[in-house]
Amino acid sequence: MMLLTTASSSPPLPAITPPVPGPPPLQEFTGHEQGVSDVAFSSDARFRHNQVIAVNFNRDGTFNCVVVTMNCARFGMRLQGIMKHYLETIDEQKETIFPVASQRPRQPNLPLPHLLNGSREDYIKFGIPLYEASIKGDWNAAKAILDQQPELVRCSITENCETALHIAASAHKTKRMKAFVNNLVEKMNKSDLELQNNSSNTALSLAAAVGNVEIVKILLEKNPALLTIPNSAQIMPLYMAALSGKHASVEYLYSKSNKLRDDGWNVQNRGWLLLKCVEADLFDIALRIVEDRPELASDGDVLAVLAKKPYAFCGTKTTSNIFMKFIDFAFACDSKPEPPTKDNEALQLLRCIWQNIARKPKKEIDDIIRGPSSTVKKDDRLPYNKEDEMLHLLKLISDNIVKLPAEIQKLTAGPSAKVTIAPLAGNVTKTYPSRVLFVAAEMGNTIFIVELIRLFPDLIWKVNDDNLSIFHIAVKHRHEGIYNLLYEIGSMKDLITCLRDENDNNMLHLVAKSAPRYRLEDVPGVAFKMQRELLWFKEVEAMIQPSYRERKNKDGLTPHELFSKEHKELAAQSEQWMKETAGHCMVVATLISIIVFVAAFAVPGGQNDGIPTFHSQATFMVFLVADVISQFASTTSILAFLSILTSRFAERDFLRSLPEKLLLGVVTLFLSIVAMTIAFSASFYVVYKGSLIWTPITISLFALLPAISYAWNQYPLLINVLRSTYDSRYLFKPEKHILYELL
């Protein structure tokens, strides 16, 4: 909230006094001889020297702009003439931005209070049983009461002035409750359905908020006018459903809303609805709203919300590597697939909005990219009390005053004076500390950034308050998708990667710092977290110019020194984890090696003159081959884990050496387990096949349970090792370009 004043060498202005109730109407007048004017500005305020522009709010919601001058009535008239055009513009904006500012919320259409205000005995006899029946959906019990007291359908049965219909509409969604509401509505007329509780919510608003579509249909079929009855905060039922994220309710109510052309809808609350649909991930509804109401297709607030939803644009990850496709398939049990339709609709919505914004003048685009107000972060329905309305209108006027032509500044500023802006009542709305583009970069919203850059290529040069580009932010937060765009902009990347922040940290310093914790949560095993950090460091090291690799920051640290300092604890934890894992697996591999070694000489069926009794049977050969494979695999696994235990555990060892040794040990361990179980099953079958055929098969299967259980429990370790060791190699330098497809 700003007030335009002019400053000179005179004493400073006193602080604005707190608001006082009931200020007298403001009249136009000139200053006193002493140069002091009393101005009622929704409060008592004193301003010294030169001129003050003040506003008088009338009871009908209108306002007047008044120039208060000191010893210069002619100046006030000239200034008013110059401002006339701007005041007319403000009046027009007031009707658009505050469409219901002059419409005070009507009193709720409350139910009859007879039951609540009557005797307590009647309430216990009729009110409580009716309430319980409404909660349970027990129509027989409710009908018995309503047959005795038909007027209770329009009476309050709770202190919140709710009728039986209010209670039933907000209850659980069941077929029984649907039948209850249907029968109850038949006993009510249209006006009864319009009854509101203390919050001015109709039964339709409550049903929409809980997502009870069947009840919504019943109510609207009886009285379509319910759709345009807002509550005390001027919130429509459709917005209530969107606020609760109830897709089915929003979809149905929007289909009945006549494309938001009905009474009660205006530019402001249409924008609220669109914003809330995007916040609730109702992208298909938001897309329909934008298509039906094109004037909303350039909403910067919606763009800011989409910037914080990278998952809305994420499709299925594809790779051209056959081995990694197999790993992704094997690891699919831990993935969280998302509906492709949602992704597609979110992308369409983004393109529609950004294409409309991109047609605006560059200054307006910069304002949108700079960031929206806090309306994106919370449910910010504008209040409808007089004080808050005044504050919002004052801000609107002040914003236009600041933009007045230069001739006003010449009028208000003398030779030794300068125009200053004095705060009136603090900020009414807050802005994001980061711009929309950098919020998207911090969230890893690659597709969002790609779509913006395609229509506005200069965005790659934008820097934040710390002089960091979106690529620096991506490196800082470990978002390889955005970082990989550097490979698509050619030699321009050399000009971007050389940027440094206020502490002389270049891009390699940023990646040397510890990654945000949430970015490493999906990386299994502490050692593989260290490996991922090393991969990032080596990648950025290869990207930046050689002269920056050893450059020190203001703390006197090179990137490598900073990396060692930041990851000292992680390196120690990685060493401990690697030793413990290798030790545990080595014990299992040793046991398997001993078992299969003994089994190789104590063959099933015994020997006849040194020759195995069943040597000529195919099943015996299966046992023999499986036993040998298990022996060799377990021995290899032991050696791999032994090499880990004797490693020096230097930082660079976590990049390739240790992960590959662990991979070899784990793979051969699992191979030995599988081969051992096959050998056991084959030997058991050879010995006992003479009895009933199902007996050896059944016992063999049960005997495999311990081995299968261990393998199943350790299966995630194997998959994690495979993914961390090989999938990480494909993090950077993607084969397919997404920003500008190569011809």
On whether the CB atoms of residues 592 and 710 are closer than 8 A, the answer is no
Band the pLDDT of 631: cuts 50, 70, 90. very high
The answer to whether residue 589 scores a pLDDT higher than 80 is yes
Q: How far are the Cα atoms of 415, 505, 519, 553 from residue 557, in angstroms, in the given order?
A: 51, 9, 25, 6
Instruction: Give the 3-state secondary structure of residue 112.
Output: strand
Give the residue with greater pLDDT, 610 vs 338.
610
**For 302-312, how does the pLDDT look when each residue is reduced to its tens digit (9 = 90+)?**
999 999 999 99
- Mean pLDDT across 634-638: 96
| Interval 546-560 mean pLDDT | 94
CA distances to 305, 343, 440, 717 from 346, rounded to whole Å, are 11, 5, 15, 36
pLDDT at 235 over 60: yes
- Distance CA(36)–CA(39), nearest Å, equals 10
Residue 594: which residues within 8 A CB-CB, separation 6 or more? none
Supply 366's token pair.
Answer: 């910069």
Q: Which long-range contacts (CB under 8 A, 24 or more apart) does 298-301 make?
A: 298/353, 298/356, 298/357, 298/360, 299/271, 299/274, 299/275, 299/353, 300/357, 300/367, 300/368, 300/372, 300/436, 301/271, 301/275, 301/372, 301/373, 301/375, 301/376
Distance CA 117, CA 105 (A): 26
Q: What pLDDT shows up at residue 265?
A: 86
Identify the residue with better confidence: 727 or 15: 727
Q: Is 147 exposed, middle or buried (0-12, 13-18, 19+ CB in 10 A)?
A: exposed
Whether the per-residue pLDDT at 482 is higher than 50: the answer is: yes
CA distances to 104, 228, 333, 383 from 199, in Å: 15, 16, 46, 14
Note the pLDDT of residue 151: 93
Average confidence (pLDDT) over 168-176: 90
The 3-state DSSP class for residue 286 equals helix
Write phi, then psi, for 505 (nearest 5 degrees).
-85, 120
Buried b (16+ CB within 10 A) or exposed e, 228-247: ebbbbbbbbbbbbbbbbebb
Query: Binning pLDDT at 50, 70 and 90, where does residue 140 land?
Result: very high
Say which residue, 536 or 61, is predicted with more confidence. Answer: 536
| Spatial separation of the C-alpha atoms in residues 194 and 182, rounded to whole Å | 16
* Average pLDDT of every residue of the chain: 76
Q: How crowded is residue 297: how many other Cβ atoms within 10 Å of its Cβ?
A: 18
Residue 118 makes CB contacts below 8 A (sequence gap 6+) with: none
Q: What is the predicted pLDDT for the residue at 19?
A: 40
Number of neighbouring beta carbons within 10 Å of residue 563: 23
Quickly state the pLDDT bin for 57 (edges 50, 70, 90): very low
DSSP of 8-71 = -SSPPPPPPPPP-SSPPPP---B--TTSEEEEESSSEEEEESS-EEEEEE-TTS-EEEEEEBSS
Query: CA–CA separation, 376 vs 382, rounded Å?
Result: 13
* Residues 458 and 465: beta-carbon distance below 8 Å: no
Residue 645 CB neighbours (<10 A)? 11
Residue given tokens 């904006």 in the structure block: 93
pLDDT at 241: 94
Query: Residue 186's pLDDT is what?
Result: 94
pLDDT exceeds cutoff 90 at 579: yes
- Sorting pLDDT into bands at 50, 70 and 90, what band is 108? confident
Could you tell me what percent of the chain has a pLDDT over 70?
68
- pLDDT of 371 reads 64
Q: Which residues contact 616 (CB under 8 A, 6 or more apart)?
A: none
Write out the residue limits of the CATH 1.25.40.20 domain(s) in the chain: 106-226
Say which range, 191-195, 197-201, 658-662, 724-728, has the weakest mean pLDDT. 724-728
Token pair for 18: 């707190």
For residue 72 the two structure tokens come to 């210069």
CA 136 to the chain's CA centroid: 37
Residues 6+ positions from 174 with CB-CB distance below 8 Å: 137
* Contact yes or no for 8/416 (Cβ under 8 A): yes
The whole-number average pLDDT for the span 724-734 is 72
Sign of CA dihedral 510, 513, 516, 520: positive
User: What pLDDT score does 728 carry?
Assistant: 63
Tell me what the mean pLDDT of segment 627-649 comes to: 95
Mean pLDDT to the nearest integer, 628-641:
95
pLDDT of residue 36: 34
CB burial class (10 A; 0-12, 13-18, 19+) of residue 446? buried
Contact 684, 633 (CB under 8 A): no
Which tokens in the block code for residue 169? Answer: 């509409």
Which is more confident, 199 or 98? Answer: 199
Distance CA 152, CA 165 (A): 11
Q: How far is CA 480 from CA 4, 390, 732, in A?
A: 47, 47, 7
| Neighbour count for residue 294 (Cβ, 10 Å) | 10
- In whole angstroms, what is the distance from residue 132 CA to residue 184 CA? 14
Average pLDDT over residues 640-653: 94
Domain 106-226 has CATH 3.90.550.10: no
CA nearest neighbour of 301 among 360, 374, 400, 383 = 374
pLDDT of 320 > 50? The answer is: no
What confidence tier does 315 reach under pLDDT thresholds 50, 70, 90?
A: low
Sign of CA dihedral 159, 160, 166, 169: negative
Residue 607 pLDDT grade (very low, low, confident, very high; cuts 50, 70, 90): low
Which pLDDT does position 420 carry in this prediction?
35
Measured in whole angstroms, the distance separating CA 533 from the mean position of its chain's CA atoms is 25
Average pLDDT over residues 250-275: 89
Q: What is the pLDDT of residue 5?
A: 38
pLDDT in tens, 323-375: 444 444 444 434 433 434 445 899 999 999 999 998 888 888 888 887 654 43
Q: How far apart are CA 663 and CA 718, in angstroms?
A: 8
For residue range 519-543, what is the model confidence (pLDDT) as tens digits? 888 887 899 899 999 999 999 999 9
Query: The whole model's pTM is what?
Result: 0.70
pLDDT tens digit sequence for 382-417 = 333 444 444 444 444 444 444 444 433 443 333 333
